[in-house]
Amino acid sequence: MNDMTPLVSKACARTTDVLAGVTDDQLDARTPCEKLTVRELVAHVGGLGVAFAAAARKDFGELTDSPPGDGGYQLDADWRSQYPANLASLANAWHDPAAWDGMTRVGGVDLPGEVCGMVGLTEVVVHGWDVAVATGQDYEVDDDVAGAVHAHLASFTAAGPVEGLFDAAVEIGPDATVLERAVALSGRDPRVRA
């Protein structure tokens, strides 16, 4: 088992809790992802669960070849039961040590399994935080999870914002938590609340 495997499981469980707290009247609310409503962002989380599980299994095809949001983000009618199952599937798929080895594909991009696993972890945490903020919920993860996401984002953003990844980093004070520093690196202001 890769050292990151338990972190993926914890992140998926936490984001699943946030999805359970979304009410129907919040689905059209704005989110820290300026172009996406809660409805669209929740649909994205549900879709990334399936895509990153397929990437872990090296099950190449439609799930791994399409860019995120290709055709828009449509919320499935059974999302309240299906999206938590998708996140559980993602976590379970990354329990296989082979998921972290060799090359894989997600969103139409070929990348090393270890990098893909970290991208998946980052997506689950950052978008879990997005949904929580947009719906007035708290989002906390253990420092080991937040630290892994922070390190991953720092490795990509050291030379400046990466197009298509997230926005430019937000400056944050020295007293910020590990999660707040990770969120700030993703281009979000961790002090923002719904």
Q: In the prediction, which pLDDT does 35 show?
A: 87
- At 37 the three-state DSSP class reads strand
Q: Is the domain covering 5-141 a CATH 1.20.120.450 domain?
A: yes
Phi, psi of 24 (to 5 degrees): -60, -35
Q: What is the pLDDT of residue 169?
A: 81
Name the pLDDT band for 159 (thresholds 50, 70, 90). low
Task: Give the residue-averaged pLDDT of 102-106.
Answer: 97
Least confident of 39-48, 100-109, 163-172: 163-172
Residue at token pair 């944050």:
172
Banded model confidence at residue 160, pLDDT cuts 50, 70, 90: low
* pLDDT number for residue 187: 87
Tell me the per-residue pLDDT of 119-157, one tens digit each, with 9 for 90 and over.
Answer: 999 999 999 999 999 999 999 999 999 999 999 999 876
Nearest to 108 by CA among 41, 177, 73, 60: 60
Residue 72 reports pLDDT greater than 90: no
Q: Are 105 and 64 in contact (CB under 8 A)?
A: yes
pLDDT category, 41, cuts 50, 70, 90?
Answer: very high
Average pLDDT over residues 93-115: 96
What is the per-residue pLDDT for 158?
67
Q: How far apart are CA 71 and CA 6, in angstroms?
A: 33
The model's pLDDT over 49-69, given as tens digits with 9 standing for 90+, comes to 999 999 999 999 998 998 887
Contact indicator for 17, 37 with CB cutoff of 8 Å: no
Amino acid, res. 20: A
- How crowded is the C-beta side of 29, counted as CA atoms within 13 Å? 19
Supply the pLDDT for residue 95: 95
Please state the pTM of the whole predicted model.
0.94
Strand (E) positions, the chain? 103-106, 109-112
Going by pLDDT thresholds of 50, 70 and 90, the confidence category of residue 33 is: confident
Q: 3-state SS string over 79-126?
A: HHHHHHHHHHHHHHHCCCHHHHCCEEEECCEEEEHHHHHHHHHHHHHH
Give me the amino acid identity at 33.
C
Domain residues of the chain, as ranges? 5-141
